[in-house]
Amino acid sequence: MRPRRWAEPQPASPAPAPALPATRRTKLGLALVVAVLVAVLVALPAARPAAGAPDAAAAWAEARARSGWGPFLLPAQGPYQQMRFAYLHESPELLPAGTVQAAVALTGNNIWARDRGAHLVDGEWWRAVPLARRALTDRLDASFQWPLLYLTPGFADRSIEDYHRLTDLPNDSRQDHPRNRLRFERTGADGTTTVLLGDSDEGLSARAPVVALRLGLSAPGARIPVTAKLAVSLPELEAESPVVARTYRDWALGLAAAARLWGPLAGTVSGAYVRTRPGPADLARAQWSGLVSLDLTVWDTLAVVGQLVAETPVGRRSDSGFDNPTYEVALGGKWDNGAGLRVEAGFTENFINHDNTIDVGLHAGVALVFP
The CATH number linked to 151 is 2.40.160.40
Within a domain: 9 = no
Within a domain: 1 = no
21: pLDDT confidence band, cut at 50, 70 and 90? Answer: very low
Q: pLDDT tens digits for 250-296?
A: 999 999 999 999 999 999 999 999 999 988 777 899 999 999 999 99
pTM > 0.85: yes or no: no
Q: CB within 8 A of 101, min separation 6: which ones?
A: 95, 131, 132, 133, 134, 143, 367, 368, 369
**pLDDT score for 53:** 45
**pLDDT score for 176:** 56
Within a domain: 146 = yes
Question: What is the pLDDT averaged over residues 202-221?
Answer: 94
- Tell the burial category of 24 from Cβ atoms under 10 Å away from its Cβ (0-12, 13-18, 19+): exposed
Which residue intervals of the chain are DSSP H helices? 24-38, 56-67, 79-83, 157-167
Within a domain: 246 = yes
Q: pLDDT tens digits for 61-110?
A: 999 999 999 999 999 998 889 888 999 999 999 999 999 999 999 999 88
- Tell the burial category of 159 from Cβ atoms under 10 Å away from its Cβ (0-12, 13-18, 19+): exposed
Q: What's the domain count of the chain?
A: 1
**pLDDT score for 211:** 97
Within a domain: 65 = yes
CB 11: neighbour CB atoms within 10 A? 9
Q: Give residue 186's domain range.
A: 20-370
pLDDT reading at 212 higher than 50: yes
Within a domain: 12 = no
202: pLDDT confidence band, cut at 50, 70 and 90? Answer: confident
Give percent of the chain with pLDDT exceeding 70. Answer: 77
Q: Give me the chain's average pLDDT, please.
A: 81
pLDDT reading at 8 higher than 90: no
**pLDDT score for 168:** 52
130: pLDDT confidence band, cut at 50, 70 and 90? Answer: very high
Within a domain: 2 = no
Within a domain: 303 = yes
116: pLDDT confidence band, cut at 50, 70 and 90? Answer: low
Nearest one of 334, 300, 365 to 62, comparing CA atoms: 300
334: pLDDT confidence band, cut at 50, 70 and 90? Answer: very high
19 or 304, which is more confident? 304
